[in-house]
């Protein structure tokens, strides 16, 4: 699938204060995406023509449009039921929203009376001021109490809102992990029996090639760590170059993001909800190790208002990923399939919400193309609602064939997070008529190194212990066609 050529210059953006006029007009609008406009003249003090927010912590916003709770609660109940989640949460949210709005009303009424009394005090005769000041003191206490009640009601509402996952699309299949729907099968597994040998698993192949060292990984760092050595390291570096080359051709801007992020970035992307047990936290610095560069890429534009004419914005990041794998004790302990650290090339898109489903299909197609370049048989699956993460409204996985396990296993995923992350992180766009509103965010794995290396070694192994390299990867490994055993 084609794409626009990536602009090497930093993208233009504008900043604004929350609640800018025109946000309501954005909701429900439909407008097309345009090519990025000509570079604007840079304002004083802004060398690249951008206006960025000052540094500091990002204040998290609502995960969904709060109006939905009042205008379409049945949609939210259906989405909860589809995920297999508690629909009573919607009723609690409705009650909390009513209590919050009522408390705000009481506070504003008392505050208005306080302001009016202040005017009377300033105009009152000296003989009347003492009495009015006593009233003002009593009224100030009531305002303070009402403000505290309003803040408490607001906090209660926000806490409940954090429990609400992104509403799934109505046609997402129901069920859990075992109910994924196979949409497509590409390629066919090799018949190793017909070729006269039994396929080895990636750990045995990697040992013969001098590519994977699990023993020293465990010695240095503990279980589920490893060293990629020799051709193993070359394979990863070659895959990174191939993935980046393809992403650039598809119109992505490359980014090397930080692997340590603040709590706001982790929470804003939804990774401190149901996935919190898999996250590494450094309490001395209050920073988190990312499990995917999606986190940093989603927070890249936090608190900013983008120019709608620059959408969609497509970024591709390469970073280490760290996962505790707390819920997978005893599962996939052999080799580098399920590890605490791996490197990954990740695609990320900001777009108009009306374009998110089209962009999602593009991300899926890019993943398909990359696996086909590597000549690996795979299946495309749609993930059921009950197996979706907190932020995804729809997700597709690609499962590659692993001869060493004699089954298909997940190697890529792509999620449409609609407005969930952008609302939390305060990423919005201003269209040509001045309306301001949230954007949609999407992510997709282009190449998760460890599992891709497994699939390459196992699918392209030969009877003599060598591994044939797919044609697309050879230029990135010095033109070699084959990896040969050390002995």
Q: Tokens for 106?
A: 């009481």
The whole-angstrom separation of Cα 445 and Cα 438 is 24
User: Which residues are within 8 A (CB) of 251 and not within 5 positions of it... i.e. 6 or more apart?
Assistant: 3, 4, 5, 6, 314
The kind and range of the H/E element at 267 are helix 263-268
Instruction: Show Cβ contacts of residue 269 under 8 Å, excluding neighbours closer than 6 positions.
Output: 294, 295, 298, 299, 391, 421, 424, 425
- Tokens describing residue 157: 């509402």
* Other beta carbons within 10 Å of 85: 17
359 in catalytic set:
no
Residue 356 designated active-site: no
Q: Which of 338, 375, 474, 480 is catalytic?
A: 338
Q: Which letter does DSSP use for residue 399 in this model?
A: E
What Å distances lie between residue 441 and 37, 147, 302, CA to CA?
21, 35, 12
Q: Could you say which of 203, 346, 367, 410 is catalytic?
A: 410
User: Which tokens is 263 given?
Assistant: 């709590």
Annotated active-site residue 410? The verdict is: yes
Q: How many other CB atoms are found less than 10 A from the CB of residue 256? A: 10
Q: Report which secondary-structure segment, H or E, holds 320.
A: strand 313-322
Q: And the tokens for 405? A: 């396990």
Catalytic residue (choose from 391, 413, 415, 422): 413
**Of 401, 404, 373, residue with least CA distance to 469:** 373
**Nearest Cα to 32, choosing from 394, 432, 416, 442?**
432
H or E, element range at 24: helix 23-26
CA 19 – CA 437 distance, rounded (Å): 9
State yes or no: is 424 an active-site residue: no
Catalytic annotation present for 451 = yes
Q: Is 445 helix (H, G, I), strand (E, B) or coil?
A: strand
Q: Which of 83, 224, 314, 323 is catalytic?
A: 323
Active site residues: 323, 338, 410, 413, 451
């Amino acid at each position: 699938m084609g794409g626009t050529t990536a602009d090497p210059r930093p993208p233009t953006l504008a900043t604004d204060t929350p609640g800018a006029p025109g946000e309501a007009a954005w909701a429900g609008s439909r407008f097309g995406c345009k090519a990025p406009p000509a570079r604007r003249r840079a304002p004083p003090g802004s060398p690249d023509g951008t206006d960025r927010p000052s540094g500091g912590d990002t204040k998290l916003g609502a995960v969904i449009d709060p109006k939905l709770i009042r205008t379409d609660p049945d949609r939210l109940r259906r989405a909860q039921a589809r995920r297999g989640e508690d629909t009573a949460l919607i009723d609690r949210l409705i009650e909390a929203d009513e209590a919050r709005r009522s408390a705000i009303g009481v506070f504003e009424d008392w505050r208005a009376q306080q302001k009016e009394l202040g005017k009377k005090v300033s105009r009152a005769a000296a003989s009347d001021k003492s009495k009015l000041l006593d009233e003002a003191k009593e009224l100030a206490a009531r305002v303070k109490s009402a403000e505290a009640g309003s803040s408490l009601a607001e906090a209660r509402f926000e806490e409940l809102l954090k429990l609400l996952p992104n509403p799934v699309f109505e046609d997402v299949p129901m069920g859990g992990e075992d109910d994924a729907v196979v949409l497509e099968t590409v390629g066919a597994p090799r018949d190793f029996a017909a070729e006269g040998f039994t396929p080895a698993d990636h750990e045995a192949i990697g040992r013969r090639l001098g590519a994977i060292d699990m023993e020293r990984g465990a010695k240095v760092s503990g279980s589920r760590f490893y060293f990629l050595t020799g051709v193993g390291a070359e394979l990863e570096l070659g895959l990174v170059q191939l993935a980046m080359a393809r992403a650039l051709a598809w119109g992505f801007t490359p980014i090397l993001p930080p692997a340590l992020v603040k709590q706001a970035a982790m929470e804003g992307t939804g990774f401190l909800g149901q996935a919190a047990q898999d996250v590494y936290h450094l309490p001395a610095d209050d920073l988190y190790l990312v499990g995917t560069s999606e986190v940093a890429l989603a927070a890249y534009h936090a608190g900013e208002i983008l120019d709608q004419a620059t959408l969609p914005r497509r970024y591709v990041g390469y970073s280490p990923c760290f996962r505790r794998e707390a819920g997978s004790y005893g599962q996939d302990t052999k080799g580098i399939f399920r590890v605490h650290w791996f490197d990954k090339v990740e695609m990320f898109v900001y777009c108009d919400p009306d374009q998110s489903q089209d962009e999602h299909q593009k991300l899926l197609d890019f993943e398909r193309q990359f696996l086909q370049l590597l000549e690996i048989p795979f299946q495309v699956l749609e993930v059921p609602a009950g197996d979706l993460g907190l932020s995804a409204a729809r997700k597709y996985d690609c499962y590659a064939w692993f001869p060493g396990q004699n089954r298909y296993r997940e190697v890529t995923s792509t999620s449409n997070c609609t407005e969930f992350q952008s609302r939390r992180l305060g990423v919005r766009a201003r269209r040509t008529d001045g309306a301001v509103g949230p954007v949609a965010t999407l992510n997709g794995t282009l190449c998760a190194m460890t599992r891709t290396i497994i699939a390459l070694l196992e699918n392209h192994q030969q009877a003599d212990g060598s591994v044939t390299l797919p044609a697309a990867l050879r230029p990135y490994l010095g033109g070699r066609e084959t990896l040969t055993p050390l002995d």
